[in-house]
Amino acid sequence: MLGIYQAYQLMLTHTQKTNKVEVVPIEAANNRVLAMNVQAPFDMPRFNNSAMDGYGIKLADKGKKLKPISKTLAGDDVTAITQGQCVKIMTGAKVDDSIEAVVPIEAISREGEYIQFPHDIKPQANIRPKGEEFHQHDILLYQGEVLDSAKIALLASLGVTHVRVYQKPNILILSTGNEIKNHYEQITQTEHFNSSSLYFQLEPLANMHTLDIIPDDIHTIQQHIDTDYDLIISTGGVSKGDADFTIEAFRQKGYDIKFNLIAIKPGKPFGFGVKDGNIACLLTGNPLAAVLNYNIFVRSIIRKLAGCKEYYLDYIKLPTTNRLQRKAGRDEAIPVKLTSDGVELSTKRGSGMISVIAQNNGIVIIDKSLETIEDKVVKFIDFTRWSEEFREFISN
């Protein structure tokens, strides 16, 4: 039985990044993966400009009374000054090279038409220099980055209208089980609602296609295995029960099943198969186990398929705030809640639970050797941090 790291690396080894590219307007680029570097087309700021509403002067005139010769607003042409002159200037307005400092309005006093300037004025005070933020040709965004609202706002500030992005991978979701129903259907006392497939369906980096629930029948499962998809994610039928046919169905359809068990709790029953470049992740039907394994293993696969440069799990180190006793022997993924003092380990973590996912912010994976977790610094994984390189993420 493979350990977590072995399974994780094996799955990513069999996952190939996409090379399919399309061009989209930036308004439609949220959660898309850049297929290009973005270089600055100009310096930012593009010119020296005022950081304050105030008055532009020569340093030789500090402490003097001067009469403004003009006013410069943002967008106006510049006004040059000589010694003995000053100009009123507004925030963001272009600052002429002849101006050596901008004195804020609140730092001066007025005497009729004249302005009394203070004595303590520093060179270039309150002047934002050209190129302070970045210079022309600087790379601001890199190929493989996932675009979000902040990055799209940056693109807009550069005058970019369209970007090259990778096409989203196409992913098929198969849910099996005679006992499960969709959330909008009626259920009996012996049935339950399907929750994990909807969780997967909301993945923003891929085109997710969900089939109707498939009964526990090996031939019916085989009929729905579609290798036109980049990845198939299934739930249910991966254990050793009388109605567990999923792994065998994929094997009979020509998939090379690399493993069907991994040494993790919860989620030990977990299959991974490959066929002609297509891959399949075969998850348990237990909601908590399925969602945890999806986050730990499958999301890294999806990020690599989608062209992300960062697809390895990452973490931050935080202290635990409570004590937890557990049975040693297997690495265990434990949901945790982020607090102002660290992370609180969940005492509820049965493989069939789902509410713990909604009530917590992430997980820690505890090493198989640990029985007592108390006053310990652990590796907190919230699935928002990703790395370009593999980092060991199990807390030991």
> Who contacts 6 (Cβ-Cβ below 8 Å, separation ≥6)?
none
Nearest partner of 143 among 385, 390, 310, 31, judged by Cα: 310
- Report, as an integer, the average pLDDT of 21-43: 98
Evaluate if residue 240 carries a pLDDT over 90. Answer: no
Give me the half-sphere count of Cα atoms (radius 13 Å) on the Cβ side of residue 293: 32
φ, ψ for residue 325, nearest 5 deg: -105, 135
> H-type helices in the chain, by residue range?
4-13, 149-157, 196-201, 218-223, 246-252, 287-293, 299-305, 355-359
Instruction: Write down all domains in the chain, each with its CATH number in brackets.
Output: 4-20+168-311 (3.40.980.10), 21-43+133-166 (3.90.105.10), 49-128 (2.170.190.11), 313-395 (2.40.340.10)
Nearest partner of 296 among 383, 390, 380, 204, judged by Cα: 383
Q: Which helix (H) or strand (E) holds 325?
A: strand 324-325
- Report, as an integer, the average pLDDT of 183-201: 91
User: For 271-324, what is each residue's pLDDT tens digit?
Assistant: 999 999 899 999 999 999 999 999 999 999 999 999 999 999 999 999 999 999
Strand, helix or coil for residue 349: coil
For residue 241, the model assigns a pLDDT of 78
User: For 326-335, what is each residue's pLDDT tens digit?
Assistant: 999 999 999 9
- Report, as an integer, the average pLDDT of 348-371: 93
- Report, as an integer, the average pLDDT of 168-194: 93
DSSP assignment string, 130-160: TTSSB-TT-EEE-TTPBP-HHHHHHHHHTT-
If pLDDT is split at 50, 70 and 90, which confidence band does 350 have?
Answer: confident
318 and 380 Cβ atoms separated by less than 8 Å: yes
